[in-house]
Amino acid sequence: MSPDAPSSLRDVQRAMSRALVEGDTGLLDLTEGDMAAEGLSVYRSGFLIGVAVALAQSFPVVRRLVGEAFFDAAAHLYIASDPPRTGNLDDYGGGFPGFLAEFGPAASVPYLAHVARLEWAIAQALHAEDATPLSADDLAALAEADAEHLRLTLIPSVRMVEVAHSADLIWRRVLDEDDEGLAAIDPDQGPVRVLVDRVDGLPVVERLDDAAWRFGAGLSGGATLGDLLEAAGDAGPSLLAGYLVAGRLAGAEGGSPQSPTRKSAG
């Protein structure tokens, strides 16, 4: 564009976006004053540092595992390759586990991407919308109407994820600063399936056996209660009770007996 012609707002904003994400300095042609280059670098470092801080909040164990310098370097490369899409940085970082899985300098730490995948599920659980779980009375009332075709679901904070390399154990011991326990973990273990939730504002991670995993996956996938119980066989009633007692069942599709209301996490 000609330096003499006024730039449209959109041109200016695209040039700034290229400056922040890619390090391009074409925007300086649209500015005036002696300190424009330095000023632009303040915006760029503010962007990279601010977004990296948000990533560090969602991936604290990954950060402790690799150290601050490595984390920040990886974060800056990731931010440039996949910048934020919304105005709420809690949404940002879903692609970071996949980025780490492909990140050459982290190749010697095969469990890192798995810990990151677990931490992303945890971050989502911690920020998920509040919901009132079904009580036993709610469930009884729903089941009385039509148990066979009833479709239950999970409360929004529940996440189910598969991780390998003992990532769930590594996560726990890093959080507990249990270096001895950490050293004793065998990172060459195959995949395990875990349920992630929050309780009193803190994350919980529980390993699931195959039956509990299938049951939970069926719940979140919208299966009818009749199909779920049939597939689970003898274990069905106790699996259903487990989710109910943990407060992880939410209203049935087509309306719960009480409309969901906000509930304190505490």
Partner 1 sequence: MTIASDSDRPVFPAAIPVAAGVGLRFRHHRPVINERPMIPWFEVHTENYMGGGAIPAYLDAIRRDYPVSLHGVGLSLGGADGIDEDHLRRVRQVVERVEPGLVSDHLSWSAIDGINLAELLPLPLTEETLAVVCRNVDRVQEGLGRRILMENPSSYIRYRHTTIPEPDFLVEVARRTGCGILCDVNNIYVSACNHGWDASAYLAALPPAMIEEIHLAGHSTRILEDGNALRIDDHGSIVCPAVWRLYAEALSRFGPVPTLIEWDTDVPPIEVLMAEAAIAQSLMDETAKGTADVA
- Contact footprint for partner 1 (CB under 8 A): 3, 6-10, 12-14, 16-17, 20-21, 27, 30-36, 38-40, 42-43, 46-47, 50-51, 54, 83-90, 126-131, 156-157, 198, 200-202, 261-266
Pick the closer one to partner 1 by CB: 34 or 186.
34
Pick the closer one to partner 1 by CB: 17 or 189.
17
Phi, psi of 168 (to 5 degrees): -70, -35
Pick the closer one to partner 1 by CB: 20 or 170.
20
Paired tokens of 126: 């911690």
Paired tokens of 218: 């069926």
Shortest distance in whole angstroms from residue 188 CB to partner 1 = 35
Q: How many CA atoms lie within 13 A of 259 on its CB side?
A: 0
Shortest distance in whole angstroms from residue 63 CB to partner 1 = 18
Pick the closer one to partner 1 by CB: 16 or 252.
16
Of 170, 154, 157, the closest CA to residue 196 belongs to 157
Pick the closer one to partner 1 by CB: 15 or 169.
15
Of 7, 5, 97, the closest CA to residue 55 belongs to 97
Shortest distance in whole angstroms from residue 251 CB to partner 1 = 16
Do residues 128 and 154 make contact, with C-beta atoms less than 8 angstroms apart? no
Burial of 239 (0-12, 13-18, 19+ CB in 10 A): buried
Shortest distance in whole angstroms from residue 132 CB to partner 1 = 11
Shortest distance in whole angstroms from residue 14 CB to partner 1 = 6
C-beta contacts of 140-148 below 8 A and 24+ residues apart: 141/257, 142/252, 142/256, 142/257, 143/225, 147/225, 147/226, 148/224, 148/225, 148/226
Pick the closer one to partner 1 by CB: 35 or 183.
35
Shortest distance in whole angstroms from residue 79 CB to partner 1 = 10
Of 43, 35, 48, 38, the closest CA to residue 12 belongs to 43
